[in-house]
Amino acid sequence: MSRPPQLVKLLADAEDALAEGRLEDAESLCRAAILSGEQLAEAHFLLGEALRDQGRLDEAEGAFRSVILSFDGPVAADAWAALATVLLQELRWEECRKATNRALREAPDNPEAAWVRGILRERRGDNHGALRDFSRAWRIDPVSFPMPIPLSDELVDAVVSECLMELHPTLRDYLSNVPVLLEEFPSEALLRQYEPPIGPTQILGYFSGTSIAERSLENPWSSLPAAIVIFRTNLQRFSRDRKELVEELRTTLFHEVGHFLGLSESDLEERGLD
């Protein structure tokens, strides 16, 4: 049975809005399609994606689960995979694992599910298994899931040294006692310091300690050692080639130096360091 032309246009417009980052428009178009009374798996699925990209994870979860409960076939597998990404961002590890496995049972060639399983394996220390999953996702959809670009200790040291030399000598003196540490990925404890918790793939670096602006002789805790931490795996996934990797590493480093100086996120965004 063919769909009414206006409904086909609603869905097409919703897809275009989502692809262009017009998330609120995409949400409105999807809701209009759903209100038509037709059983439209695509409308619920696209709504879930629009909500997820807005950070409205609880609502996105509901949209994806409605697809899973009401529809079969490839769209259900896609919904399981999309649900897995929501659960990953919410740090609901075991539920995420189950959703990922279900998606891959339904559709072994689902790249999003393979990518999420790679993240889970990576955090468990199964680097070989993670690489297989990342390779699988890349082979199926190289645009959405590029292979991680290797970030060596030597490259980090070289970029850090270069960045420090670009700073004013006085600032370099301040930073001389602030080590730059390279860690594989953020700990769950760190992710849960944010409210709401931040997703495990969404943070590239972190400043630990008290900024210069907040230090005080009256507060002995403010003199505790500070450090800048760079998360290797997230930077590797964020970049599509070595040039972009170096640029993201530089931006991340200067971002955390900004926090050391006491700059806020809005201050950093104004300086192009978000």
Q: Which residues make beta-bridge pairs with 183?
A: 231
**63 in Cβ contact with 41 (< 8 Å):** no
* Alpha-carbon span 103 to 7, nearest angstrom: 28
* 3-state helix/strand/coil string of 106-131: HCCCCHHHHHHHHHHHHHCCCHHHHH
**Is the distance from CB of 230 to CB of 253 less than 8 angstroms?**
yes
CB neighbour burial string for 121-154, b if at least 16 within 10 angstroms, e if fewer = bbbeeeeeebeebbebbbebbeeebbebbebeee
Omega before 179 cis (within 30°)?
Answer: no
Q: What is the pLDDT of residue 88?
A: 98
Give the dihedral sign, CA 234/236/239/242. positive
Nearest to 251 by CA among 271, 233, 236: 271
Neighbours of 274 (CB within 10 A): 11
Give 30's contacts (C-beta < 8 A, 6+ positions apart). 14, 43, 44, 46, 47, 50
Q: What dihedral angle (degrees, nearest 10) is formed by the CA atoms of 162, 164, 166, 167?
A: 180
Predicted pLDDT at 222: 44
Could you tell me the domains of the chain?
5-140 (1.25.40.10), 153-270 (3.30.2010.20)
CA distances from 142 to 104, 111, 239, 253 (A): 18, 9, 13, 28
Distance between CA atoms of 172 and 118, rounded to whole angstroms? 38
pLDDT of residue 220: 46
Task: Give residue 50's pLDDT.
Answer: 97
Please state, in angstroms and rounded to a whole number, the distance separating the CA atoms of residues 236 and 35: 42
Read off the pLDDT of residues 32-87 as tens digits, 9 standing for 90 and up.
998 886 668 889 999 999 999 999 999 999 999 999 998 888 889 999 999 999 99
Q: Which residues of the chain have pLDDT under 70?
A: 1-2, 37-39, 213-224, 263-274
Looking at residue 273, what DSSP letter applies? -
Q: Whose CA is closest to 201, among 272, 130, 99, 107?
A: 130
Amino acid identity, position 108: P
